[in-house]
Amino acid sequence: MRELKLKAMAKINLGLDVLRKREDGYHELRMIMQTIRLYDRIQITVTEAEGIRVKTNLPFLTVGEDNLVYRAARLLMEEFQIRKGVFINLEKHIPVAAGLAGGSSDAAAVLIGVNRLFRLGLSRTELMNRGVKLGADVPYCILRGTALAEGIGEKLTPLPAPPACHVLLAKPKAHISTKFVYGNLKADQLPFHPDIDGQIEALKTGDLKALAEKMGNVLETVTIPACPVIQEIKDEMMKMGARNAMMSGSGPTVFGLFEDKAAARKAYEKLKRGSMAKQVYLTEFFSPAAGSDGAGGGAEGRRTLQRRETGLKGGGPDDR
């Protein structure tokens, strides 16, 4: 095999709680992670000349050793002393620095791709154990689907997939760094904690209403005062018929869960026309097929959606 094409899918957090700040400076987390059908395209080609080359469609992204896809390829190629090289073409569609784990998902896809191309024989668990060296979200992005994430996000327990619904995403123009959010979080003074256990029960019973009602993200206690438009987008989505709306990860992207397709489409069009959000997408949940290793898609992953629902020309809904 000389070439491989992969999809690196985004994630949202259906619930995000911070239990405490640890002595090592990291925060102890408890989160419900969910893959969505918004994705970057990655093509990996084996080259005879040694080394790693990365190309991307976004001119502001680094393509050297600071890029996570470069580091992911190097991690396996150095460990297994691979003497050939790889060329990685990264076509970005997941918003950057948005709370959607785009960079982590790209790294996860490259780990899977290098493992396949060079027939390294690593299991998904073995890839996940290596992925945590690149970032706390990388193991989840290898696993994909629905999962409880604990520790710093690396301890994963698969959960039942949620009922199907429409997921509206809106990223405002503002930039909020993860370092700023966690640096200003008062983990010992949080005014609320989301009901993660209640969400797990709702997943087990397939109750979307209960799942949505129990959504919560404690990081909003930092981001909303710093970036009030996050609350404005949440309010607008709720006004337009979302079951609930919340910021994903450390933000600033907001997502809303809609049961009604027409209402979701109407909200999408209104946010696209407005000034609150710079990037707006309409997509849905993704659940990997049984036996999938996290990048191919399987029968479930091949289900087609209409591209027009996301406003994207390249990545987005699972269209192959």
86, with CB counted inside 10 A (0-12, 13-18, 19+), is: buried
Count of CB atoms within 10 A of residue 13's CB? 27
Tell me how far CA of residue 26 lies from CA of 19, 71, 132, 222, in angstroms: 11, 22, 14, 17
Burial readout 104-117 (b: 16 or more C-beta within 10 A, e: otherwise): bbbbbbbbbbbbbb
Taking the alpha carbons of 308, 309, 312, 318 in that order, is the dihedral positive or negative? negative
Q: How far is CA 234 from the centre of its chain?
A: 19
- C-alpha to C-alpha distance for 44 and 53, rounded to whole angstroms: 10
Active site residue ranges = 11, 137
Sequence ranges of the binding site for ATP: 95-105
Does the N-terminal peptide bond of residue 252 adopt cis geometry, omega within 30 degrees of 0? yes
